[in-house]
């Protein structure tokens, strides 16, 4: 039998197109009548925020590649120009759908709930009077219009800032005919303003966009001249930055230097008021050196994700998800001594269904415990004001040896991480910035405690960041353990991160960039061999993305050998399921619900003796080869079975699940009339209510 070439481009979905498909699924949540109305508005805003990052990072990198190597192609065979052509079609359709959802679905339904976005032509006399006063007192003093002439060149436009291009007629103060002016709205200004009750006709919620107020009173900024047109616009810039690892002496200073330029990277997208005349559009496109396919017309505010602020301004529990209290496992709830509880047995937390508080308390108790000698922790995204940071500082001030590995290059959190490093260093915490050339993405904490004549290693390993806020909305697993070999593995990795020395063979952990990729491939190959021998063979993988070629090859071979492969992939998936002779035995589903699915789990049937691993890494090349990651086994039978139960719940989901088709599109699972609705996240909320 002839071996099929698994490198054929038609076997792979383009990464960027797959990412756009994810945003289509997010936007679809905004259309669902069974989701509370303000939550639907949130989903719309999230899809817009995601699209911003898509252009800032992904499209920007493709545009750069188009200049550097126009013939370059990935596994899918698409050149940069071909990718941009297809992105152009899908992105424009997505933006059109976003404004359609806002204008035709959400705004009318919000109005029925007495929540209004008041347009300029609908302002009442009282509202106009209040808004005019607001303009004069809160806006006008800090607005700086710039008339364009040889002495006033086009100002530098900040990335994603709100701006206005104004067409003028009449003579200025110096007797010259004016043509155009640019007005930038400072970022400190709120983009949506709530009108006070006394100016409204009832007790409803009335909001006005900042852009509407500026449009309404912009003429007062140009005395003696007439406003022919005023149109809002926004520019998206390349926000990814490059640090040459081979040419820097100080990573901190290098990152600080690049951050200063992030707001002024190359232009990649222009958004502008859909009513703007072509002449003005062409003027802006020419100035920013953008082609028409980088132009997006806005039929509403140019920055839809700013609408998200009204969620916190409206006290309407009936229009939001029902609140819930994260559970605490009984073994932790009964014990005030976390170390005693962990010493007794491994403990698994599943956030946000279970509280993140035990993780914070673990570090707090370590900081206060006189028997704790050292604390070592990785921080990727956590926030300067995190209670975890406070506990680490207290530990250092108490004389404990505290080491923190901070990843400065966590995208869009670089500034916070630089500030965090300074704060920790001031408290005599030993701060290192990982390994040059490799992001430290592992989530791990080690506490070294003296108990009698022995030193015990207590560890926490997770699939997500040490961030209390995201732990409320991201699903992640966290494992507490006092296992000797596991603790020794974590200790060795920390030593490697600080000393840069080679690590002896690890007992239990798989670690990238060294053993993780190889270890996962070996486990897939083992399932292939079991299938060939007629034994139980099955693979369940739950990750955020599947991109890496060799992993996809291995999964294709598994399917060809008859291994049942179930993939739960939240976002990007470059693997094509359902291709005859290649991937008939592979199912790929995506769960989009109340919580952002973030857990990474790798499970292998192993002839009925299931092996379950949790990890900080997705199946992406960067995670396997360019990052420091950890993948840890779940060996406690009860916890092991619990994760398998969770995975099966996701595989049973018939309400929030989407199935990937072989053409790269997704279809939401349609429930049969006889089937009851089953939502995995809802069931987990019920099951983990202790």
Active site residues: 441
In sequence order, what are the residues at sequence separation of 6 or more whose Cβ sits closer than 8 angstroms to the Cβ of residue 420?
A: 379, 382, 383, 384, 389, 406
Nearest to 35 by CA among 470, 670, 471, 656: 656
Q: How far apart are CA 309 and CA 318, in angstroms?
A: 18
Q: How far apart are CA 122 and CA 118, in angstroms?
A: 6
3-state secondary structure 578-613: CCCCCCCCEEEEEECCCCEECCCEEEECHHHCCEEE
Other CB atoms within a 10 A radius of the CB of residue 242 amount to 8
3-state secondary structure 211-257: HHHHHHHHHHHCCCCEEEEEEEEEEEECCCCCCCCCCCCCHHHHHHH
Half-sphere exposure of 187 (CA within 13 A, CB side): 7
Residues 76 and 12 sit within 8 Å (Cβ to Cβ): yes
Find the Cα–Cα–Cα–Cα dihedral 238, 244, 248, 254, rounded to 10°: 10
Q: How far apart are CA 499 and CA 283, in angstroms?
A: 55
Q: Is 413 helix (H, G, I), strand (E, B) or coil?
A: coil
- H or E element, residue 458: strand 454-462
State both tokens at 114: 């007495």
Q: How far apart are CA 596 and CA 600, in angstroms?
A: 12
* DSSP state, residue 120: G
CA distances from 124 to 118, 131, 200, 206, 313 (A): 10, 10, 8, 12, 22
Q: How far apart are CA 434 and CA 427, in angstroms?
A: 19
Q: How far apart are CA 586 and CA 576, in angstroms?
A: 9
């Amino acid at each position: 039998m002839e071996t099929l070439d698994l490198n054929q481009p038609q076997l792979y979905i383009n990464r960027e197109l797959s990412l756009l498909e994810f945003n289509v699924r997010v936007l679809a949540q905004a259309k669902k009548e069974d989701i509370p109305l303000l939550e639907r508005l949130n989903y719309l805003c999230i899809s817009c925020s995601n699209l911003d990052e898509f252009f800032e990072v992904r499209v920007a990198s493709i545009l750069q590649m188009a200049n550097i190597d126009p013939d370059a192609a990935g596994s899918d065979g698409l050149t940069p120009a071909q990718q941009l052509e297809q992105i152009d079609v899908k992105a424009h359709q997505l933006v059109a759908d976003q404004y359609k959802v806002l204008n035709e679905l959400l705004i009318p339904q919000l109005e029925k709930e007495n929540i209004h976005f008041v347009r300029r032509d609908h302002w009442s006399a009282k509202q106009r009077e209040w808004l005019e006063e607001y303009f004069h007192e809160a806006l006008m003093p800090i607005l700086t219009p710039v008339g364009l002439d040889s002495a006033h060149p086009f100002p530098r436009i900040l990335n994603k800032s709100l701006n206005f291009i104004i067409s003028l007629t009449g003579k200025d103060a110096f007797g010259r005919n004016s043509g155009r002016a640019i007005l930038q709205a400072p970022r400190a200004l709120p983009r949506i303003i709530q009108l006070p009750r006394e100016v409204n006709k009832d007790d409803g919620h009335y909001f006005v966009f900042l852009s509407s107020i500026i449009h309404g009173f912009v003429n007062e900024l140009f005395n003696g001249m007439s406003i022919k047109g005023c149109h809002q616009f926004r520019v998206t810039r390349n926000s990814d930055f490059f640090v040459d690892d081979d040419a820097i002496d100080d990573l901190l200073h290098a990152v600080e230097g690049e951050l200063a330029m992030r707001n002024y990277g190359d232009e990649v997208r222009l958004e502008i008021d859909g009513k703007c005349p072509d002449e003005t559009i062409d003027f802006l496109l020419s100035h920013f050196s953008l082609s028409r396919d980088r132009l997006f017309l806005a039929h509403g505010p140019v920055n839809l994700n700013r609408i998200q602020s009204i969620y916190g301004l409206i006290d309407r529990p009936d229009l939001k998800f029902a609140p819930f209290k994260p559970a605490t496992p009984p073994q932790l709830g009964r014990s005030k001594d976390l170390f005693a509880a962990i010493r007794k047995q491994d403990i698994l937390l599943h956030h946000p269904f279970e509280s993140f508080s035990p993780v914070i308390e673990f570090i707090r108790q370590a900081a206060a415990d006189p028997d704790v000698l050292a604390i070592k922790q990785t921080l990727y995204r956590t926030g300067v004001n995190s209670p975890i940071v406070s506990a680490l500082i207290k530990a250092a001030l108490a004389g404990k040896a505290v080491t923190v590995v901070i990843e400065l290059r966590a995208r869009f959190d670089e500034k916070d991480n630089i500030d965090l490093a300074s704060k920790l260093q001031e408290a005599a915490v030993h701060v290192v910035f990982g390994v040059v050339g490799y992001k430290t993405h592992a989530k791990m904490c080690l506490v070294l405690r003296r108990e009698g004549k022995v030193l015990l290693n207590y560890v926490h390993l997770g699939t997500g960041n040490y961030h209390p806020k995201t732990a409320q909305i991201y699903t992640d697993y966290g494992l507490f353990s006092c296992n000797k070999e596991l603790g020794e593995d974590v200790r060795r990795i920390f030593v490697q991160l600080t000393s840069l020395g080679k690590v002896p063979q690890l007992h239990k952990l798989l670690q990238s960039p060294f053993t993780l990729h190889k270890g996962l491939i070996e486990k897939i190959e083992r399932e292939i061999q079991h299938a060939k021998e007629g034994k139980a063979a099955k693979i369940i993988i739950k990750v955020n993305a599947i991109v890496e070629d060799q992993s996809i090859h291995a999964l294709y071979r598994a399917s060809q050998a008859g291994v049942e492969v179930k993939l739960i992939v939240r976002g990007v998936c470059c693997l094509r399921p359902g291709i005859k002779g290649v991937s008939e035995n592979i199912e790929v589903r995506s769960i989009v619900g109340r919580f952002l699915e973030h857990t990474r789990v790798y499970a292998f049937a192993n002839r009925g003796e299931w092996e379950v691993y949790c990890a900080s890494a997705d199946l992406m090349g960067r995670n396997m080869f360019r990052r420091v990651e950890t993948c840890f086994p779940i060996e406690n039978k009860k916890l092991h079975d619990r994760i398998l139960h969770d995975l099966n719940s996701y595989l049973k989901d018939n309400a929030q699940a989407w199935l990937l088709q072989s053409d790269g599109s997704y279809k939401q699972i349609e429930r049969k009339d006889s089937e009851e609705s089953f939502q995995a996240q809802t069931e987990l909320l019920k099951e983990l209510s202790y």
